[in-house]
Structure 1
Amino acid sequence: MKIASIELFVIQMPLKSPFLTHLGAVNNREGIIVKVTNSEGLSGFGEGVAFSTPWYTEETVATSLHMLTDILIPLLQKHPIDHPEEASHLFSSIRRNNMAKAALETALWDLYAKVNTKSLSKILGGTRPVIASGVVVATDSAANALRQIEQYVTEGYQRIKVKINPNQDYSFLAEIRSHYPELPIMADANSAYSLKDIDRLKALDEFNLIMIEQPLAHDDIIEHALLQKEIRTPICLDESIVTFDDARKAIEFGSCKVINIKVGRIGGLYEAIRIHDYCFEKGIPVWCGGMIEFGISRAHNIALASLPGFSIPGDISASGRFWEEDIISPEVTVENGYIHVPLNSGIGYELNEKRLQKVLLTKRSFTFS
């Protein structure tokens, strides 16, 4: 694991179609690709999944770049590590900034797997040769949603997630259910409701949803516990789960029956494994959430979702869901609703250097003694 250099690539690509929620629209996706190279010339890759503006968490691409450049990489230069878990402990002295931490930590995991000539899935404890793939429908009308769902069902996706809010919920879901009465559907509210909306949320029980994701405030655990007692639909927590302790408290309080694990949101794969293991022990299903990623983060998600506790199809779709051309080779593909977990070392995908250069905004390099 002796690090020789770290490179940061800030990139931007347009989405094939806008990604719409009540919080706003994403038309172009910025991100940070991290490349860590050791003294033997092996390289590991990670991805910073913060958005350009702080609509999902307080982090942005700019703040992540600052944290990586001025705080985290210098910390790693001063304190060499032998295992990626040590990076998680090292970075714990820095509050929050989990997406910046995860960008660097996941690159170290990829490198570690390659040094040991094992797939990242096996290094993490994965057991599945394939993972079930789900997809998100984020649009502004039932008609558009139905067109997207028809396409995704034809492509074999195992689960559909739809974005809802108080202006687009009951009638929206009723229209979808009338066309797809048996389709596995979940709803994602992105904190669009409050406890004043209990009756409104109770009404959604009739649609037999797999879950409703983060209906209340992004930082809440207590009120979700009150809501879960009032509705039959399982609540899934997303934004509220930032640390292992958040997950533990949410389960103890009865705030949710499902947890969404996003590597970037919780600061890396080490914390993701800890949450997975605890949930598995407690019988709480987990699934892998998406962040409109490029292929590097998508590859890490595939490895993570191969762990035994990931019993619900995650937001891990094909590269072609968002991009005309991804930055990895081969691109992620979905076959009959499933993605094959790579067997070769590391994340199992190569960086497409030619594509990277086309979408590159800026680059920074750091050497290690």
Structure 2
Amino acid sequence: MKIVEYKMHQLIMRLKQPYRFASYEYRTRPINILMIKDELGNIGLGEVEAFEFPNYVDEIQSQCVRSINTRIMPLLGGKNYETPFEFSRFINSMNSPKMASAAVEMAVWDLFSKRNNVSFQQLLFSTIGQMNNLPAKVEVGVAIGIHNNSIQMIDEIQKQIDKGYNRIKLKINRGTKISDLVEIRRHFPKVLMMIDCNSQFGLRDKSFFQSIDNLDFAMIEQPFGKKDFKDHAKLQSIIRTPICLDENILTSDDVMKVFNKHSGQYINMKIARVGGVSNALAMTNLAIQNGLKVWCGGMLETGVGRAFNLAFASLPFFQFPGDISASDRYYINDITEQSFMINNGEMSIPQGDGIGVNLSHMAQIAFDNEEWINLG
């Protein structure tokens, strides 16, 4: 397989309502979608999932786009790749931003699946030696942004439960009151629920986490800094609620740090954050082998990124519902023809070759106005 042309277009995704996490609020989300074409005319889609500003990890959308245009794509012309794993080894050697590498590598998986007339899910399962009885649906959850008080949070949680979500993730920060979390659990004592701190706390806040340790949260995600393994271990040693690490996990070495330092019990695996599907597969396998639990996270993706996540989350490694929300959850208009709906806490995995989605009419028009860039 040779990649002969590519094009990329930025879409400004308008959120239905402001989305708050950590100390940031989003009303729009610029996302670049990548198209790559092989020598047979097949087209693969990938998504640059970095945020506009470095408030999740250090990589940002503009940096990733620049790396794709000036570093990654110019080096691909004329090279032949037999498998997506071979391509991943090559792209890993570039030391480019991981979310830039992931966008290209995801497009390669989509392209390779289409060349072989199989779905991305089928191709994924073939890598673990399982070709039959693939799941048609996966259990999913929803992340709820920061609200001002428990009344607003309870109202939003109820809305999402009414839509069919069975697992709720609450974004919190240092302004969140213990009494609000207590009140939320009083209203929803049986709902599978977790909290996500997005690195907003420090070990000095250990009493906060000790105070909510009896609220039966499934896990506490990323309470401390992006490079902090030692203090996460200290906190885990004094609370029974499992700690989940997210922003900390970029490489296989980071997975082993969690295990060796006892920094937590769960890992939130995001394809984009770790540099692509191949890396995510390898790191997930490493985590499972060392007794850590892994689940599939989300990053306010469009329908393109959501399709990748659904297939990935259907792998048998994952036993906890991922952050994969319905098409109508965040954006006024998504960019794929296919809509993703919740039914009893589950979402269907797209069928068809590749990731199983096509760009919407409006998104396709935007791409038609972009010129293909030749890599010959």
Q: TM-score range by the shorter chain?
A: over 0.9
In the superposition, the TM-score normalised over structure 2's length comes to: 0.94
SS of the aligned residue for 1:28 comes to strand
Counterpart selection for 1:139 from 140, 143, 146: 146
Deviation at 1:55, TM superposition (A): 1.1
Alignment match, 2:318:
310
Contact 1:8/1:364 (<8 A) preserved: no
Q: Distance in 2 between matches of 1:40 and 1:4?
A: 9
Q: Distance in 1 between matches of 2:155 and 2:370?
A: 39
SS of the aligned residue for 2:264 comes to coil
> Quick check: 1:230 aligned with 2:238?
yes
Alignment of 1:62-81 (within 5 A): 62-77=62-77, 79-81=79-81
Q: Distance in 2 between matches of 1:193 and 1:139?
A: 15
Q: Distance in 2 between matches of 1:221 and 1:102?
A: 25
Contact 1:3/1:39 (<8 A) preserved: yes
Counterpart selection for 2:165 from 152, 157, 164: 157
Farther-moved stretch of structure 1 (263-272 vs 16-25): 16-25
Distance verdict in 2 for CA 1:154–1:85, change over 3 Å: same
Alignment match, 1:128:
135
Alignment match, 2:176:
168
Alignment match, 2:266:
258
Identical counterparts, % of pairs: 35
Contact 1:2/1:82 (<8 A) preserved: no
Contact 1:11/1:356 (<8 A) preserved: no
Q: Deviations over 1:157-192 (max 9, x none)?
A: 120000112210412211211111111110000011
SS of the aligned residue for 1:311 comes to coil
Farther-moved stretch of structure 1 (41-50 vs 339-348): 339-348
Q: Distance in 1 between matches of 2:119 and 2:56?
A: 31
5+ residue gaps, structure 2, are: none
Contact 1:279/1:309 (<8 A) preserved: no
Distance verdict in 2 for CA 1:273–1:44, change over 3 Å: same
Amino acid at match of 1:327: I
Q: Deviations over 1:182-239 (max 9, x none)?
A: 1111000001111111111111111100000000101112221121111111000000
Amino acid at match of 2:136: P
Counterpart selection for 2:284 from 271, 276, 279: 276
Deviation at 1:96, TM superposition (A): 5.2
Alignment match, 1:218:
226
Distance verdict in 2 for CA 1:172–1:79, change over 3 Å: farther
Q: Distance in 2 between matches of 1:79 and 1:355?
A: 30
Q: Deviations over 1:69-110 (max 9, x none)?
A: 000101212543222212221122333511000010000000
SS of the aligned residue for 1:319 comes to coil
Counterpart selection for 1:243 from 251, 263, 283: 251
Q: Distance in 2 between matches of 1:364 and 1:83?
A: 27
Amino acid at match of 1:60: I
Q: Distance in 2 between matches of 1:285 and 1:149?
A: 25
Distance verdict in 2 for CA 1:356–1:201, change over 3 Å: farther
Contact 1:128/1:308 (<8 A) preserved: no
Alignment match, 1:192:
200
5+ residue gaps, structure 1, are: none
Deviation at 1:278, TM superposition (A): 1.9
Alignment match, 2:36:
36
Contact 2:110/2:354 (<8 A) preserved: yes
Q: Distance in 2 between matches of 1:218 and 1:169?
A: 23
Deviation at 1:313, TM superposition (A): 0.6
Alignment match, 2:46:
46
> Quick check: 1:320 aligned with 2:317?
no
SS of the aligned residue for 1:202 comes to helix
Alignment match, 1:27:
27
> Quick check: 1:4 aligned with 2:1?
no
In the superposition, the TM-score normalised over structure 1's length comes to: 0.95
Contact 1:137/1:162 (<8 A) preserved: yes
Q: Distance in 2 between matches of 1:357 and 1:24?
A: 32
Deviation at 1:283, TM superposition (A): 3.4
Q: Deviations over 1:231-260 (max 9, x none)?
A: 111000000001122112212221110000
Amino acid at match of 1:313: P
Alignment match, 1:367:
374
Contact 1:195/1:216 (<8 A) preserved: yes
Deviation at 1:356, TM superposition (A): 4.7
Alignment length (residue pairs) = 368
Q: Distance in 2 between matches of 1:220 and 1:353?
A: 45
SS of the aligned residue for 1:29 comes to strand
Deviation at 1:357, TM superposition (A): 3.9
